[in-house]
Structure 1
C-alpha cells in the first residue's frame, strides 16, 4: 500500500470471449508534440482494445493539424479570418474608440493581411514535400522548408492575436496558464485565441460524427497538450453528449490530487480520467460501461459519482512482457515530417536508476522499474520492422539500462536486424569499454541523449546521480569515436550549487565540444513530485505555493542559503550561454529525429553541413538568429505518459 492509500492489484478476471460486448472507441492524440513520429500511447492502447475485440479508430490530431496548417485551403481560410477581424478594428479607429491593445492587434493583422497568401501556401505545401522526400537530406533546402513553416505559423498567429503559435512545436503560447484552473476553463471557450477550437471543428468533430464511437479517449501526455486536449474533450461532450469522453496520460496522473477539487472537469469537460498506466484500465472501463463490470471495481479510474468525484483505491500495473505488440494501423505513417518512417518502441517502464532527487518521472508509474528480456525486444522490433516496413526506431525508455544496451546491441548484430535506432542513456562506469560503443554503432545506434546535469561531482552527488567526471568524459569520447552522435543535457542552479560549480559545467561542455555534437542547457525547475519538493528542508529550499496555481506541476522556490546560485542567477547564466557560447552547436535542422536520419543516411557523426556557419570562436559568439536550439528532452512511456523535462535522463 502506498502512502496515498492506494493498493496495487494483479488485475481483474477477463470476460469470456463468448460473453464479450464490443464497443467502438476513438482514440485521439492532441497537439502539441513533435510532428516527426507517432506517439506510443495510442498504438499501445489500441493493441489491447483490438485484442479484446473492440473496434478502434486512432487519430493523431497533432500531425493532422500541422499537415492542415500548411495547405492552401487553410491559409486562405486564415486570410478570410484576418479580414473579418480587421474591418471592425478599422471602424473603431475611425470612431476614435480603439484601445491600446486593439491598436497593437490591428498593426499585427494589417502586416499579416499584406502577405501574399498564395505564395506562402505554395511554399508551405512544397516545404512538406521537402521534409517527406529526398530533398530533406540537402541541409540548405531543409532549412528553407523549416523557415517556411515558421513563417506560416507567424501568419496563422496573427489571426489568433495575441496567441503565439510557433514551429518548433511545444513552444506555442495562447496567453493562458495551464497551471491555473480558471484560465484553463476560460481558454476552452475563447474563440479569439484558442486555435484548437477551430482544429476541433475542422478535423475532430467531423470525424466523430462520421465514426459514431461509443467512447472517445484522449491522451494528454504533456502540459503543453492540456489546453488542446481539454478543448477537444469539452467540444465533443457538448456536441455528442451521449458519447463517453475519458482522458489519460502523464499530466492527468500528476494532477490526480487536484482534479477532484474541480468537479467542473467531470461535468463539463470529460466523464472519467484514467491514472497511471492505461491499457487494461481503459479496457475494463469500457467493459463497465457495457454493464460487464462494476464501475467502482475498475482500477486506475477517477470518475464522477452522485456523491462527487471518486477515485479507485486500486492500481493496476501492466505486465510489460504480456502486452501485445503496439498497433499503429490507422495512423498516417507517411504523413509525418520525415522522409523515412520512424517508430517508437519501449522495452522498459520506469527508470532502472530511479534515484535522482530532481526527477519526477516516476510519478507516472505506480510500481518500480520493469523491463523485457533482450530477446523479446529483438522479436518485437523485428515484427514492427516487418509489419510497417520501417527500419528507424526511437527507443523511448526513460534511460536505457546498461546490461540491456549491451545485450540488445549484440543480438541486433547477431541476427542482422538491419535497423537504426536512438535512445536516452546514463553515463555509466560499466560502459567504459570501447568495444561496447563500437558494437552499439554496428547494431545501428546513431544518436544518444545523456542527462549529464552537471560536470561537478559534488553537485552530482547532491543529485544522487553519482556519476564521475572521468566516466562522463570517457563515455563521450568512446561513443563519438564509434560514430555515435552525442547530445548532452545539463542545467544550472541545482540547490546548493555555487556559481563556480555551474561554470565548471559550462567549461566542461566547451572543452569537450568536439565529442559533444549537440547540447541543451537549462535551469533547475522544482517539479512538484520530486524528492526535493517533498523534502525541501533537506535540500535547503523553501517552496512557495501560490493559491491561484491550483493545477501546479512545479513550484517557485527560494534558497535558504543565499550564498549559492539562485533561480534567477541560473536563468541568467543559461541565457548567457545561449548568447555567448552556443553558436558552435547551432544546427539548421529542426529536431532530434531529423539529426537521427541525417546520421543514418550519411553514416557518420561528422555532419558539418547541418551546422550554422561559425564566424567567431567558442565562448565569444553572438546569438544566432533564426536557428534552432534543441527542444526539451523528450521520452514517452508505452502507457502514453510523456516525459518532457528540461534536463534529465535518470
Structure 2
C-alpha cells in the first residue's frame, strides 16, 4: 500500500504548507509507505516559465533568481536590462527602501512585481479566477450549493491542463493506492476536485481522501452527496487518526462517506513528527514585499512550519472559532520534543528558519523552548503568533531574542478598551503595548492583527482605535499591522445559533450588519493610514484627520 499526499494549487510559494509534512511523519511513524507532492509549487513553476508564457524572455532566469539559484542576476534586474520595459516600478520608492547598496533586495522586489504583473496578464488572457495563492477563491467562498463548484470543475484552460499533466506524471511514477488532498483554503478546492476527477476517471482503483482547513470550517454540515462523485472520504479535524483508520481498514473516525454523511468526535493524541522527505527547498520562490514588513517575512525565505502545541491555551475570544477542535483542545508538547523536531527538520531541509503555526504560543512553553535551544547551542531563527500577555517581560523577550526569535504577531483586534472586554480578549491595551515594547526593545519585530466593523463598535471608537495604533507606531512599539473586517462564523460564540442549512458550504454568517457610517470607506481609511505608519509617515497626524470626507 502506498499513500500519496498532495497540496493542490495554490498556496504559499516560498515554503510548503504543513499538512502533508505532518501527515507524512505520522504515516511513516506507523510503518506506511507515504510520499508527499507539492503540486502547488510545481504548477506555479510550470506556469511562470518561458515555455508556458511565450514571449516572456528572461522569465526562466527571474524564477531561478527568486529561487536563490543565481544571485548574480540582481544587477541586470535592477538596471533594467533583463525584464521587459512594461515592468513598472517607482525609482523613488526603491531608492527610499533600498538605498544605493541594497541591490539584491531591490532586484528581488522588482522580480516580485514582475511575477505579479504576469499573474494579472494570466487573469486577462487565460482565466479571471487565477491568483498566485487564491486561485478560484471567490467561487468556493460563495459556494452555498455544489452546482457552482461542478461548473467550475468543468472549466478547462491551459492552467488546468498543466496541473493535470503534472498529476498524471506523479501518479505514473508513484503508483499510489490512496491519494490524499489537503484543502487549507477556498482557493485550493477547485483544483483539488479537478485532480480528483481525473483520478476517478483514469485510476478508479485509487481511493481519494480530502481534508484540511476549508473542509473543517465549511463542510461540517454538508448534505449534498455529489462531492462523493469525486472523492471517497471527507476527513475532519486532525488528519492523522482519520487517515490511519482508512489505511488500516478499521472503523472510520471523523470521516464522511457517501453512505455516512455525519461523524462523531473521537480523538487520540498524536505527537507531531513533521517529515519533509520529498520536499526540495530549492524549488520554492522567495518574494520581497514592501507594503508590510510581516508579509515580507511571511513570503521571503524557506520557513520550516512546525507547531509547539495543539489548540489555543486561551480559546475564549467570542469572535474566534472556539468550537472547533484545532482551537478548543489544547495539548502542548514538551520543549525537548519540539527542539528534537527542529533539529531533525533542519537536517532534512538545510534551512534553520522556523514558522510556528500555533494559534498562540504560550509564554511558559516558549521560554522552555528558548532555554532548550540555547542549551543545545543551536543557531536558528523562528517566529509565530502570540497573545500580548503580561508574561512577555523584558527578561523573557531578551531570552527569546537570544534563542533566535525574530518576529511575533499578535491580535490587538479592535484596539478599544470597551470592545476588547466585550469580545473577551483577555488582554488590555496597556498590557499589549508593554509586551510589544519589550519585544521591540529586544530586537524582535512586532506585527499586530486588527479588526474593524464589530457590530457594537461606534465610529468614534474606531477612530480612537486608529489613534492607539498610530501611537504604537510613533513609539516604535510595533513595526507592522493589518486591518481585517469583522466577520461572524457559525463556529464562534458570536455566530452561535446562526447556522444556515446550505447543502454545501456553511461557515460565514451572512447577517446584514447595520452601520451608521460608511463601513467600506472606514476600511480604506484604516488601511491607508496604517500603510503610512509602517513607512514612518503620518504618525504626527491626528486620527480624526485621516477620516475627513468619510465622517
Distance 1:463 1:244, change over 3 A: same
1:243 and 2:206 matched:
yes
Candidates 436, 442, 448, aligned match of 1:488: 448
Find the counterpart in structure 1 of residue 181 from structure 2: 218
Identify the match of residue 301 of structure 1 among 255, 262, 279: 255
Are residue 436 (structure 1) and residue 396 (structure 2) matched?
yes
> Which of 506, 509, 515 in structure 1 is aligned with 2:477?
515
Cα distance change, pair 340–151 in 1 and its aligned pair in 2 (3 A): closer
Equivalent residue, structure 2, for 1:588: none
How many equivalent residue pairs?
Answer: 501
Instruction: Measure the CA separation in 2 of the matches of 1:554 and 1:530.
Output: 10
Number of the residue aligned with 1:317: 268
Distance 1:235 1:419 in 2: 42
Query: Aligned partners of 2:455, 2:66: CA distance in 1, in Å?
Result: 44
Q: Distance in 2 between matches of 1:366 and 1:201?
A: 35
TM-score by length of 2: 0.84
Quote the Cα distance in structure 2 between the aligned partners of 1:419 and 1:287.
38
In the alignment, is the contact (CA less than 8 A) between 1:71 and 1:124 conserved in 2? Answer: no
Change (3 A) 1:402 1:581: closer
> Of the candidates 135, 138, 147, which is equivalent to residue 182 of structure 1?
147
Q: Following the alignment from structure 1 to structure 2, what is the Cα–Cα distance between the partners of residues 470 and 176? A: 40
Which of these residues, 331, 336, 341, is aligned with residue 370 of structure 1?
331
Q: Alpha carbon RMSD of aligned pairs, Å? A: 2.8
Corresponding residue of 1:17: none
* TM-score, structure 1 normalization: 0.72
Which whole-Å CA distance do the structure 2 matches of 1:165 and 1:361 have between them?
32
CA distance in 1, matches of 2:344, 2:471: 43
Among 111, 120, 131, the alignment partner of 1:154 is 120
| TM alignment of 1:71-470, pairs within 5 A | 71-76=49-54, 117-119=55-57, 121-122=59-60, 124-129=62-67, 133=71, 138-161=104-127, 163-167=128-132, 169-170=133-134, 177-180=141-144, 181-192=146-157, 197-259=160-222, 261-266=223-228, 268-288=229-249, 293=250, 297-305=251-259, 309-313=260-264, 315-320=266-271, 323=272, 325-338=273-286, 341-360=302-321, 362-365=323-326, 368-431=329-392, 433-470=393-430
Partner Cα distance (1:66, 1:409) in 2: 36
Q: 1:367 to 1:498 in 2, by over 3 A?
A: closer
> Aligned equivalents of 2:380 and 2:234: distance in 1?
37
**Aligned twin of 1:100:** none
- Judging changes above 3 Å, is the alpha-carbon distance between structure 1 residues 616 and 410 closer, same or farther for their aligned structure 2 residues? closer
Match of 1:504 among 444, 464, 474: 464
TM alignment of 1:521-600, pairs within 5 A:
521-535=483-497, 545=500, 550-559=504-513, 565=515, 569-585=518-534
Tell me, yes or no, if structure 1 residue 40 matches structure 2 residue 3. Answer: no
Q: Which whole-Å deviations, capped at 9, do the CAs of 1:264-302 have from their partners, x for residues lacking one?
A: 111x210111111111321220121xxxx3xxx221221
Could you say which structure has the larger radius of gyration? 1
**Cα deviations by residue, 1:7-31 (Å, 9 ceiling, x for unpaired):** xxxxxxxxxxxxxxxx111110012
1:493 deviation in Å?
Answer: 1.6
Determine the C-alpha separation between the residues in 2 that align with 1:199 and 1:581.
40
Cα separation, 1, equivalents of 2:150 and 2:170: 24
Matches of 1:313 and 1:126 in 2, distance apart?
48
Structure 1 unpaired stretches of 5+: 1-22, 77-116, 536-542, 586-610, 623-650
Secondary structure of 1:556's match? coil
Q: Distance in 2 between matches of 1:312 and 1:156?
A: 41
Are the counterparts in 2 of residues 178 and 223 from structure 1 also a CA contact under 8 Å?
Answer: no
1:436 Cα deviation after fit: 1.0
* Residues 362 and 198 of structure 1: CA distance in aligned 2, closer, same or farther (over 3 Å): farther
Contact map agreement 1:448 1:487 (CA 8 A) in 2: yes
| Unpaired runs of at least 5, structure 2 | 75-101, 287-299, 547-551
Counterpart CA distance in 2 for 1:348 and 1:380 is 13
Indicate if the aligned counterparts of 2:312 and 2:327 stay in contact, CA closer than 8 A.
no
Report the CA distance between 1:496 and its aligned residue.
1.2
Q: Secondary structure at the match of 1:210?
A: helix
- Using the alignment, how far apart are the partners of 2:409 and 2:529 within structure 1? 23
**Whole-Å Cα distance in 2 between the matches of residues 354 and 175 of structure 1?**
31
Distance apart, 1:455 and its partner CA: 1.7
**Separation (CA, whole Å) in 1 of partners of 2:370 and 2:264:** 41
Q: For each residue in 1:293-350, what CA deviation from the matched residue of structure 2 results, as whole angstroms up to 9, or x when unmatched? A: 3xxx221221123xxx344435223333xx4x21110112221113854211111011
Matched residues in 2 for 1:52 and 1:549: separation? 36
C-alpha displacement of 1:570: 3.6
Q: Distance in 1 between matches of 2:226 and 2:321?
A: 27
Cα shift at 1:548 = 6.7
Work out the CA distance in 2 between the residues paired with 1:255 and 1:175: 13
**Partner SS state of residue 554, structure 1:** coil
Q: Secondary structure at the match of 1:25?
A: strand
Determine helix, strand or coil for the equivalent of 1:150: helix
How far apart, in 1, do the equivalents of 2:203 and 2:496 lie? Answer: 42
Deviations 1:491-549 (A, max 9, x none): 112221111111121111111113221110111011221111105xxxxxxx595x778
**Residues 1:255 and 1:171: Cα distance change in structure 2 (over 3 Å):** closer
Residues 1:178 and 1:333: Cα distance change in structure 2 (over 3 Å)? farther
